[in-house]
Amino acid sequence: MQNTRRLSQGIFLFLFLYLFLQTESKGEDELGYPVRIFLDFDPLIFITTLLSSHSLTQAFYLSIITIIFTLIFGRVFCGWICPLGTLNNMAGSLKKQQADVAERGSPRDWHRVKYYILIFLLMSSLFTLQLAGIMDPISLLIRSLSISIYPLFNYAVRSFFDTLFYLNIPVIVNISEAIYSVLKKTVLAFHQPYFKQSAFIGIIFIFILGLNLVEKRFWCKYLCPLGALLGVLSRFSILKRSVSEGCTSCGACASVCQGGASPDKIGEWKNTECFYCFNCDDVCPNNAVSFGFFKKTGSASQGSASIDLGRRRVIVSIASGIVAAPFLRTTPFFKPGFFNPLLIRPPGSLEEREFLKRCVKCGECMKVCITNGLQPTLFEAGIEGIWSPVLVSRIGYCEFRCTLCGQVCPTGAIKRLTLEEKANFKIGLAMLDKGRCLPYAHAMPCIVCEEVCPTPKKAIWLDEVLVKDREGNEIIVQQPRIDLDLCIGCGICEKKCPVIDKPAIYVTSIGETRSKENQLLLS
């Protein structure tokens, strides 16, 4: 069973990474099967989105399969499927569990912490505050890979092969270029991605993996809110663990238990913490442990000891979830009439408050953005909006013929648009700074913004004006003007503006289609 479980973990991790690599543009405005399908099977995202937004996307009904599977087999998702759990398992293999337990004398009794986190997330969701994606293991893994680990991998591989190329050693160069060509077609991004907060998010991810050096599967045992939810469901699982009279309480099972479920202690077995890894069955010297839907002859179904969460701590968790919403929203970002001009959301995004109720900060939209313009926020949308997507036009514009971000959004925070709908969806408006614009401020010819404007009828048009230079000579320059009705705020003019440091044309969120209030001229 141990080998079978490892095979299952390897298959699902490979599938996850394969879908992750496929979640990018292949030259067409259509994706096959993005990695969001793992989020579609995630019941924590399913429940918190339902509570916070009072609505669901159809794909989330797949999470019911995970719920039913858990009610039958227990927490097999944690032990056999979860890609973050598999990575934690791999990181934990650097430290022997037997030595870990021996150093402390007994496993830590911190399992209740993840249940407090779960209660907090459910209660905050009930009051329309969607924070589950920050700690949900699938969302956390996709975000960490998209924004930090995958860009780092791309940078390291490209730098390595660039170094080999510049060394110009004939045989090595030929071989390395052949390998590099294969990597570009398979695992490397088309362009090197760059993200704000890449290091910060990467450090958090490495820290989570590093906790396995403190105790194997530390995150899974003590912190994972999805694990807590599946643990609650697994109390009713049909698959049971049985122990025969041949058990001598030798403790061999405790040394290999991945969930710290106290399998060696009579009356203290915690089935909510069992990952159904079957290690205890494999290691038992007397073959006294078994799993099945029916009790074996001569065996007794091992009772389950409930985890005492403590009434006061539960009340504190509930109260914290309730208070979190008003606490995080007493900021200027939620003041009526206040709009952050830099908060330019992807096309198809819902109105800001509805957007925040749904966005789980998974980072998939940022990964598929073909210009790298979508970046994770820090506090541009308040603490509630941390790591949600924002378009930074100076880094990358919104491609006029691209709708990929709406295709990968798992919760409907970004609606999937057709190309026709996208062409008329405003995410902001371009504004001119005449004090920096070359034709206005310096009487120098420049029509870059008009040339790159992608709308069928140019949103930027040129007005020929007769001006004088310093010597008094009259010259004709073409000064750009912006058609407010046609501009969609894609930001390509800002990106391509030749004024390098601070562009003479820039985009703000005003005029966005998703808001009836954030408009240039209120009727």
The per-residue pLDDT for range 380-404, each reduced to its tens digit, is 998 999 999 999 999 999 999 999 9
Find the range with the poorest average confidence among 96-100, 235-239, 240-244, 271-275: 96-100
Provide the terminal-to-terminal Cα distance of the chain, rounded to the nearest Å: 68
Q: Which of 383, 398, 465, 387 is nearest to 430 (CA)?
A: 398
- Residue 263 vs residue 36, higher pLDDT: 36
The b-or-e profile of 183-199 (16+ CB within 10 A means b, else e) is eeeeebbeeebebebbe
HSE value, Cβ hemisphere, 13 Å, CA-based, for 122: 16
Domain ranges of the chain: 241-302, 426-523
Confidence of residue 102 (pLDDT cuts 50, 70, 90): very low
- Which region among 77-91, 238-252, 472-486 has the lowest average model confidence (pLDDT)? 238-252
Q: What is the 3-state secondary structure (H, E, C) of 466-506?
A: EEECCCCCEEEEEEEEECCCCCCCCCHHHHHCCCCCCCCEE
**What DSSP assignment string belongs to 22-63?**
HSS--SSS--SS-THHHHHT-HHHHHHHHHHHS---GGGGGH
| H or E, element range at 200 | helix 198-210
% pLDDT > 90, the chain = 69
Whether 442 has a pLDDT exceeding 80, the answer reads yes
Judge whether 159 and 358 are in contact, CB under 8 Å: no
Question: Can you give the three-state secondary structure of 283-319, one letter per residue?
Answer: HCCCCCEEEECCCCCCEEECCCCCCCCCHHHHHHHHH
Strand residues in 176-255 grouped as ranges (E): 240-244
Those residues whose C-beta lies under 8 Å from the C-beta of residue 521, and which sit 6 or more positions away, are none
Please tell me the predicted confidence (pLDDT) of residue 312: 94
Confidence bin at 223 (pLDDT 50/70/90):
very high
Higher pLDDT, 63 or 58: 63
Helix (H) or strand (E) segment spanning residue 165: helix 150-167
Residue 91 pLDDT exceeds 90: yes
Please name the residues in contact with 480: beta carbons below 8 A apart, sequence gap of 6 or more.
Answer: 432, 437, 439, 447, 449, 450, 460, 461, 462, 463, 505
Answer whether CATH 3.30.70 is correct for domain 426-523.
yes
Can you tell me the mean pLDDT for 296-309? 63
Residue 295 has pLDDT above 90, yes or no: no
| Segment 467-475 mean pLDDT | 85
Q: What is the pLDDT of residue 109?
A: 78
What pLDDT sits at residue 252?
83
Q: How confident is the model at residue 78 (pLDDT cuts 50, 70, 90)?
A: very high
Whether 241-302 shares its CATH topology with 426-523 is answered yes
Q: Is pLDDT above 90 for 420?
A: yes
Residue 257 has pLDDT above 90, yes or no: no
The pLDDT of residue 204 is above 50: yes
Flag whether pLDDT at 300 surpasses 60.
Answer: no
What's this model's pTM, rounded to 2 decimal places? 0.92
Q: Is 102 helix (H, G, I), strand (E, B) or coil?
A: helix
Quick check: 346 pLDDT over 80? yes
- Does pLDDT of 245 surpass 80? no
Q: In sequence order, what are the residues at sequence separation of 6 or more whose Cβ sits closer than 8 angstroms to the Cβ of residue 79?
A: 5, 85, 258, 259, 275, 276, 277
pLDDT tier for residue 55 given thresholds of 50, 70 and 90: confident
Cβ contact 493:430 at 8 Å: yes
Q: What is the mean pLDDT of residues 105-115?
A: 79
User: What integer pLDDT is reported at residue 244 of this predicted model?
Assistant: 79
The architecture CATH gives domain 241-302: 2-Layer Sandwich (3.30)
3-class DSSP state for residue 323? helix
User: What average pLDDT does range 468-493 have in this prediction?
Assistant: 92
CA distance 171 to 452: 43
Q: Which of 132-136, 208-212, 258-262 has the lowest mean pLDDT?
A: 258-262
Q: What is the mean pLDDT of the chain?
A: 90
Name, of 12-16, 239-243, 276-280, the range with top average pLDDT: 12-16
- For 117-133, what is each residue's pLDDT tens digit? 999 999 999 999 999 99
Top pLDDT among 98 and 401 is at 401
Provide the β-strand partners of residue 465.
Answer: 477
Tens digit of pLDDT for each residue in 206-221?
999 999 999 999 999 9
pLDDT at 193 exceeding the cut of 50: yes
d(CA 162, CA 355): 42
> How does residue 278 score in pLDDT terms, banded at 50, 70 and 90?
confident
- 514 falls in which pLDDT band (50, 70, 90)? very high
